[in-house]
Each structure stands twice: as structure tokens, then as C-alpha cells.
Amino acid sequence: MTKTIEFYFDFSSPYGYLGAQRIQELAEKHQRVIDWQPVLLGVIFKVSGQAPLTTFPLKGDYAIMDFQRSARELNLPYVHPKKFPIATVAAARSVWWVKEHDDSAIHSLTTALVQAFFKAYYVDGQDLGDAEVVLETAASVGIDRDALANAVQEDAVKERLKTAVSDALDKKVFGSPMMIVDGESFWGNDRIEQLDRWLSRGGW
Amino acid sequence: MTKTIEFYFDFSSPYGYLGAQRIQELAEKHQRVIDWQPVLLGVIFKVSGQAPLTTFPLKGDYAIMDFQRSARELNLPYVHPKKFPIATVAAARSVWWVKEHDDSAIHSLTTALVQAFFKAYYVDGQDLGDAEVVLETAASVGIDRDALANAVQEDAVKERLKTAVSDALDKKVFGSPMMIVDGESFWGNDRIEQLDRWLSRGGW
């Protein structure tokens, strides 16, 4: 079985977006599959005693500057969303529903959906907290809009996301992006180079 | 005049220690001088609404693991201090006093003192919050112990540190290490590679 890179993130995390743009190349390089794990940072922050980065004096302003400076270095488009942070429940539920039906060995449809959501929010200036935006974006990658609209209201799908957040907490996930390989955790977009070295060297 | 890398840190910051071990090589590479800026994170955290990293559930355990994993990758010694965090007022005041009397163009004595304090706390297992440890460590790099013991109680030296913290806040310093080059801020030991690229490319 192909090994994974578990990629925990919240769509409302700019570093999650930046990390997601680079993790696919890294996964291919190390012949791993990305296991997309959308979670809800709001729930996680209650457990870990944190708050959204941009709400802190001084640190918040730096963060908004740094999202953009980091994107520029990586030649990635980034437009800081007007509405930030947002509730990402609908987007996260959508991914979990699609993922459970995604038979592709490399999770192609799940990956396409994750990237489409990120693009809508961080590139195209759309409000991903809006259920209509979620449905339209999903439709743009070929997902049945009506089926998804029903799915995100189903108890089973709601429970799937709750379980995912609970499982993430069990694995001590406290931020976004957090990447776990063979039980080893790496937190932050700025740790992707370190993760690359870890996988190349087989740890240290 | 030689350009500087302003290096803001608290001796009670493991990432400050790790960053300080690498910043000298970086400064030499880019023909810059390090402007050591010891500050008090406790004061800064009150303004920026933060708390010591290790006090957070989940995040705290990860941080302690990561201090050690990051040190191992860099082949740097690191023994997580038994007493952590500590009050670093005496150590910080000592650096400011020595710095004001350090005529060397590259701040040799200041650098030696900063590194000796870091080594005492993160390598030799000494309690840098203890005024005696501060004095003995300073003496080990050739600083007059009695003169320093008097200096750290002088109003002028106390004021110097207060002014330094206030100046750091004016420059929006909120963490350790924080490096400022030509007005551009970089936060974190894990951003030293990015700072290196920034200096090589002249920004982006």
C-alpha cells in the first residue's frame, strides 16, 4: 500500500492554502499519496487554547504581510480575503463526502475539490463560507451539485466531519497545515522543506 | 557603515537559541553585523495577547519535541531546560550594559556573552534566571563580575532594557527570534533560510 502524507488543514488557513500548493509535488517526489484531512480550527483552538492568527495585535499584521510575502516568493497568487476568517463547515463536509466516494488511488477528485475551494477563496475572492459558493465551486470540478447540497445536510456527513476533527485532536493536531508522515508531525507551510529533508533522509 | 541584521530575542526562547547559532554565519555571508537585541517576551506578550508556547495544550508538547528535533537536524546540542520558561531580566540587562561598552566593530564581546548565556541555559543545564549564574557566565567570557553585579542594579541599565523592549514593540516585534533587515521583519528560527534568500535576491 502506498504510504501517505496526512495533510490536516482548515480552508480558512492561508498557510494551509500555501502548503497545499506545494504538498503534491513533495508527495510525488517521495512516492506518497496525500490524505486530505479538512478540519475545523475553531473547534481545535478551543481545545488547544488558541485563536486565529490575525486576531493578535502586532502578530496579526505581520501574518497578513507574511501570507502575501510567502506567496510572492513561491510565485503563487494570493489575495487576502475580505472576509477572514470564515466558517468552513460546508466546504469541509463536502470534501469528506467526496473523499468517501473517491475511488481513485491518488484521490484525484478530492484533490481537485480541495484545490478548487482554495482557489475560490484565496485567488478568486469568493466567500467560501457561503454554501452557494461551495456548491458552485464543487460543480465546477464535476461534482453533482444537487447530490452535494443534500449530502452536506445528512447526519452521516455531519458526523464524518466531527469524527475527523476528533481524530485529528487524538493525533495532537493543533494547527494548519499539519502534516503527519509515519506518525511524525510537522506544523506549518514553512516546514515543508524540513519535511522534504525528513523524507529524503528517513528521519534523524 | 556596515548594514545590520537586528536580532530580537529572549534568552528563554529555544528558537532564539537555535536561530542565534545560525545567524552569525548568515551575517558573515551577507557582510552584515548582528545587532543583538535581547528583549523580554513576557512584556511583549502582554501587548500582543500571547503566552509562552509550551503553556498551550497539544501545541506545547509539539514545541518541546520540535525544539529537540530542529536542534538534531542542525547538529546543535539542546537539552530542554528543567526550569522553563525563566525570567531573563538579569541576562538581558547584562547584554545591554556590555553592548554599550563594546567598541568592537563586530560586537565581539556582546556576541560572546549572548552565546555564553545561551550555552549555559540550553547546553549546560544551568538556570539562567539565577543572578549568580548570570554573573559567573559573564565572568567566563572575561567580563568583570563585580562591575556587572553593580551595573545590573543601576537605574540607567534598567532603563536601557525597558527602552529596548519599548523600541522593539514600536518595530512590531512580537516573538523570538525576530530578525529585521532594512526594515523588513522575519519571525522564527525556521525563517532563517527565507531571510538568506531575501538577502541574496534583494527582496522580492
Decide: helix, strand or coil at residue A118. Answer: helix
Which pLDDT belongs to residue B100?
Answer: 92
Q: Integer distance in angstroms from the first to the last C-alpha of chain A? A: 24
DSSP string computed for chain B: ---EEEEEE-TT-HHHHHHHHHHHHHHHHTT-EEEEEE--HHHHHHHHT---GGGSTTHHHHHHHHHHHHHHHTT------SS-S---HHHHHHHHHHHHT---TT-HHHHHHHHHHHHHHHTS---TTSHHHHHHHHHHTT--HHHHHHHTTSHHHHHHHHHHHHHHHHTT--SSSEEEETTEEEESGGGHHHHHHHHHHT--
Closest in B57, B61, B191 to A47, CB measured: B57
Which pLDDT belongs to residue A187?
Answer: 98
CA distances from A132 to A14, A128, A145, A148 (A): 21, 9, 10, 11
What is the rounded average pLDDT of the residues A168-184? 98
Which pLDDT belongs to residue A101?
Answer: 87
Among chain A residues, CA nearest to B192: A190
- pLDDT 10s digits, A54-112: 999 999 999 999 999 999 999 999 999 999 999 999 999 999 999 998 888 778 999 99
In chain B, which residues have their Cβ closer than 8 Å to the Cβ of A50? 56, 59
Which pLDDT belongs to residue A88?
Answer: 98
- pLDDT 10s digits, B111-121: 999 999 999 99
- pLDDT 10s digits, B167-204: 999 999 999 999 999 999 999 999 999 999 999 999 99
Q: How far apart are CA A200 and CA A187, in angstroms?
A: 18
Percent of chain B's residues with pLDDT above 90: 96
Which pLDDT belongs to residue B24?
Answer: 95
Determine contact: B56 vs chain A, CB below 8 A: yes
Q: Residue B28 pLDDT > 90, yes or no? A: yes
What is the rounded average pLDDT of the residues B9-23? 98
pTM: 0.96
Residue A4 C-alpha cell reads as: 501517505
pLDDT band of residue A35 (cuts 50, 70, 90) is: very high
Q: Is the dihedral of CA B34, B40, B45, B51 positive or negative?
A: positive
Contact indicator for A107, A135 with CB cutoff of 8 Å? no
Closest in B56, B70, B190 to A50, CB measured: B56
Q: How far apart are CA B204 and CA B199, in angstroms?
A: 10
Measuring CA to CA, which residue among B5, B2, B20 is closest to residue B188? Answer: B20
Q: Residue A43 pLDDT > 90, yes or no? A: yes
In chain B, which residues have their Cβ closer than 8 Å to the Cβ of A58? 47-48, 169, 172-174
Q: Residue B101 pLDDT > 90, yes or no? A: no
CA distances from B71 to A201, B53, B68, B124, B192 (A): 16, 17, 5, 15, 14
Decide: helix, strand or coil at residue A8. Answer: strand
Measuring CA to CA, which residue among A184, A189, A188, A179 is closest to residue A201? Answer: A184
What is the rounded average pLDDT of the residues A27-55? 96
Among chain A residues, CA nearest to B188: A190
Contact indicator for B2, B33 with CB cutoff of 8 Å? yes
pLDDT band of residue A1 (cuts 50, 70, 90) is: confident
Domain with B86 in it: 4-201
Residues 97-156 of A with CB under 8 A from B: none
What is the rounded average pLDDT of the residues B38-46? 97
Domain count, chain A: 1
CATH code where residue B122 lies: 3.40.30.10
The Cα of B34 is separated from the nearest Cα of chain A by a number of Å equal to 22
- pLDDT 10s digits, A116-153: 999 999 999 999 999 999 999 999 999 999 999 999 99
Sheet containing strand A33-38, strands side by side: A33-38, A4-9, A178-181, A184-187
Which pLDDT belongs to residue B1?
Answer: 76
Which pLDDT belongs to residue B106?
Answer: 78
